[in-house]
Amino acid sequence: MEDLVDIVIEDDRWDGFGLSAAVNRAARAVLAQLQLDPALFQIVVMGCDDARIAGLNGDFRDKPQPTNVLSWPSEERGAEYVGEAPALPEPGLPDDPAPLGDIAIAYETCVREAAEQDKSLDDHVTHLLIHGILHLFGYDHIEDEDAELMENTERQILAGLGIADPYAGGYGQHG
């Protein structure tokens, strides 16, 4: 059986932070919320720096500046109707888990945002990872109704982990 998350560290500061533990905690919390077996899914997360994520943001979103987290679902997922939860993906097998997609998270941006928002780095990174993982499942925040659903789902998952509502201070989540 493979692990739920495959971690790629491009910036050693993420090792010092404990990215692997944070990613596994966030991923398991999301899958528990969605009532999915973590043994049947696979996520890849890359811990990088601002320069690397700025390049990715430019390549994939035509926004060549750093952002906190980026997600690339393994396939297009989304709800049929605005404000509706996306359909859940088909699970894989324990020895061949279904790929959900890839996430990149940038160290400097996370540290800066946590300080600006007076949040612990661990809580902020956990929130961003949950946010990114929900994107892999087809959640988005383009339409107001979809943003409300995604944010409420994040709040529920975070509350289960003992983390305060990240939106209470009026802060956004994704650059």
Known binding-site residue numbers: 131, 135, 141
d(CA 149, CA 114): 24
| 22: amino acid identity, one letter | A
| 103: amino acid identity, one letter | I
Kind of pairing, strands 98-106 and 69-73? antiparallel
d(CA 77, CA 73): 8
Annotated binding site for Zn(2+): 131, 135, 141
C-alpha of 151 from chain center? 12
